[in-house]
Amino acid sequence: MPSKREQFAQTIRAQYLGERMRQLREERGLVLKYIAGYLGVEFSTLARYERAEWPFRKEHVSALLDVYGVHDEDERDELISMARDAWRLDQWEKDDAPRNAQDAARQVIDPWWVQSRAEELCVYATVLIPELLRGRDYAEAVIQHSLGGQPSMAKVDMLIRQHLHRQQILDNKPPTRLTAIIDEAVLYRPAGSRAILQAQLEHLTRAVERPHVNLRVLPTNGGLHDGVDGAFTVCRMRAPYPTVAVLTHLGGRMVIEGATADRYETAFGELGKAALSPTDSIDLIEQTACQLGAGAELPATKPEVSE
């Protein structure tokens, strides 16, 4: 019978913990051989811990945090808890939990941390243009709306810069591949103004000129489909890590692993079958941008329902 270690699945918790422990070691200029000797484990064992091939033991994490000079109790508790829960799949992060600025920068597992490490992102969007494909003005309009009230321009500018910084993964070498399927109604939903929407649609036509960016439109007259429960992102991780799905709701974000993530990948494949071809999708986007520029009335954003 295989050991528990041999049966270990490379969960997101284990990956995050392994990378964080590696960062702490490298920031202090310490080599694997030295730290392995301190722990009394083989060099290869510590390397497997940091690559999340094997789960870190709680006592090893605690000892290493002492060596690395990590004395902040919140961070220590967070990382030791990750070692304890490294076997667990899925994570739900609520938005209503009180947190200060430091906590916000160090949430347990930021869903964007997951997405930024994917080899390919498969995004299904039902209301807004996906974040990675937003132009600056469209992004600003969405951010202003999401913050509500009268947010400070400093905060808005910070979030816009964050938006644009995240988009750089599409320009990495090698770049992250992006396949996005958007509901047709998204093309007709103004964000700020018709002029901003027109500019955003024109931005989309330029974005797909990159060979690793694929955009499809799901027509509203296609009836029920596998995306009726809402938007989601499938993260196809680099080997040997498994596929992960990320969902965002009003109450927070969910990172999903294992067989449930595979269901989202299957659903995305079915959405692809129902979507327009890439060429027809871009034709529709260009046509809509022209209609906006000409002041024409756009179709209603409410999808048609067949009797």
Q: What is the CATH number of the domain that holds 247?
A: 3.30.870
- Tokens encoding 114: 């997951």
CA gap 200, 196 in Å, rounded = 6
The pLDDT of residue 175 is: 93
Q: What is the CATH number of the domain that holds 79?
A: 1.10.260.40
* Same domain for 256 and 167: yes
* Same domain for 144 and 229: yes
48, 68, 84: which is the final residue of a domain? 84
How many domains does one find in the chain?
A: 2
The pLDDT of residue 228 is: 63
What DSSP line would sit under 35-92, residue for residue? HHHHHTS-HHHHHHHHTTSSPPPHHHHHHHHHHTT---HHHHHHHHHHHHTTT---EE
- C-alpha distances in Å from residue 54, one per residue of 9, 10, 168, 263, 279: 9, 8, 31, 26, 45
- Tokens encoding 192: 């700020």
State the residue range of the domain holding 47: 12-84
- Tokens encoding 72: 């902040």
The pLDDT of residue 208 is: 96
Domain assignment of residue 162, yes or no: yes
For residue 254, list its beta bridge partners: 92, 247
* Amino acid of residue 86: A
The pLDDT of residue 14 is: 83
The pLDDT of residue 91 is: 55
For residue 234, list its beta bridge partners: 122, 245
* Same domain for 144 and 34: no
For residue 249, list its beta bridge partners: 252
pLDDT in tens, 228-243: 678 999 999 887 778 8
The pLDDT of residue 13 is: 79
Mean pLDDT, the chain cut into blocks of 10 residues (307 residues total): 51 84 94 92 92 89 94 89 74 48 46 86 96 96 88 90 92 94 95 94 97 96 66 88 83 79 93 96 97 85 42
* Amino acid of residue 13: R
